[in-house]
Amino acid sequence: MEKLIITACICGAEVTKKHNPSVPYTVEEIANEARRSYEAGASVIHLHVREDDGTPTQSAARFKACMDAIYAQCPDIIIQPSTGGAVGMSNEERLQPVTLNPEMATLDCGTCNFGGDDIFVNTENTIIHFAEQMGKRGIKPEIEVFDKGMIDMAIRLCKKGYIKAPMHFNFVMGVNGGISGEPRDLVFMRESIPGDATFTACGVGRYEFPVVTLSILMGGHARVGFEDNVFLSKGVLANSNADLVAKTVRIARELGREIASPEEARTILGLKK
Ligand code: KMH
Ligand code: ZN
């Protein structure tokens, strides 16, 4: 089986130090969490950034400061900025990190409830606009799908030429408003993508390790980190994102999957560098 790409989603936009004091906010905290995750086996950092007080921001300057600080410690790592940002941000606010020409960025392919009163809005025109901005800069989209209909949207936009094949998906499972993280649903998502596509899977909260374990078994890739889950095991907070990456590495090794380096991940994902 192909080597396993581990993505660490170290920070997110919604999780705070109240959930886990190790959630990074400052440039230094973000760079250190990225390095620890990289040393534990992550080849991709899914990056959100914060102001020093924890407020989520999509500021290009803040992304640049964090990316420079991460590259200073992990020169070969793949950084995948979020264009999802936080619920309620405008499209132009969210798109700012693409001006830095990262190798990858997320492309969220539909609208869904996001717990409580929150709605994560991605209209068809928004998705097309984001895809065009990434396409013209040679940025590989990681197609984030929170439900099966979002896969269908991506396939349609790929057929229309807005998204290039082969596509790379991230199945985000277990959001309150999206698809659950039950094994049946992960199998359904995997069976719904084109044959030439690759995928990563992640599960929110208690779904994190069941989802990545099944993805590893099915030949998919794995995303773990504080954005999705702050616990190493039931009731035990992780000290660092690296604890979650290290657990994923242990599971993968037991199941016979070797871990991809960033260069190997670039080859698997067809990145430009
Ligand atoms: N923070 C969520 C509302 C992405 O990174 O592209 C959206 C999100 C998706 O995290
Ligand atoms: Zn994200």
Cis peptide before 166 (omega within 30 of 0): yes
Q: Which ligand is nearest to the CA of 114?
A: 1
> pTM for the whole thing?
0.98
**Whole-number Å distance between alpha carbons of 196 and 38:** 28
**Whole-number Å distance between alpha carbons of 251 and 26:** 31
* Residue of 96, 106, 109, 118 to mutate, ligand 1, most atoms within 8 A of C-beta: 106
Q: Write down the pLDDT at residue 272.
A: 67
Q: Which helix (H) or strand (E) holds 156?
A: helix 148-159
Across 155-197, the runs of DSSP E, i.e. the strands, are 168-173
Ligand 1 atom 7 nearest Cα: 84
> What secondary structure does DSSP assign to 30-78, as a single string?
HHHHHHHHHHHT--EEEE-EE-TTS-EE--HHHHHHHHHHHHHH-TT-E
Q: Which ligand is nearest to the CA of 108?
A: 1
CA of 145 to the centre of ligand 1 (A): 10
Closest CA to 201 of 48, 4, 38: 4
Q: Write down the pLDDT at residue 197.
A: 98
* Residue of 57, 144, 172, 226 to mutate, ligand 1, most atoms within 8 A of C-beta: 144
In ligand 1, the atom with minimum distance to the C-alpha of 9 is: 5
Residue 84 Cβ contacting ligand 1 at under 6 Å: yes
Judged by phi (left if over 0) then psi (alpha if -120 to 50, else beta), residue 119 lies in beta
Homologous superfamily (CATH) for 6-269: Aldolase class I (3.20.20.70)
* pLDDT tens over the chain, length 273 residues: 899 999 999 999 999 999 999 999 999 999 999 999 999 999 999 999 999 999 999 999 999 999 999 999 999 999 999 999 999 999 999 999 999 999 999 999 999 999 999 999 999 999 999 999 999 999 999 999 999 999 999 999 999 999 999 999 999 999 999 999 999 999 999 999 999 999 999 999 999 999 999 999 999 999 999 999 999 999 999 999 999 999 999 999 999 999 999 999 999 999 965
Burial class (CB in 10 A: 0-12, 13-18, 19+), 61: exposed
133: which 2 tokens? 């901005």
Name the residue type at position 20. N
Q: Write down the pLDDT at residue 273.
A: 55
Residue 159 φ/ψ, nearest 5 degrees: -60, -35
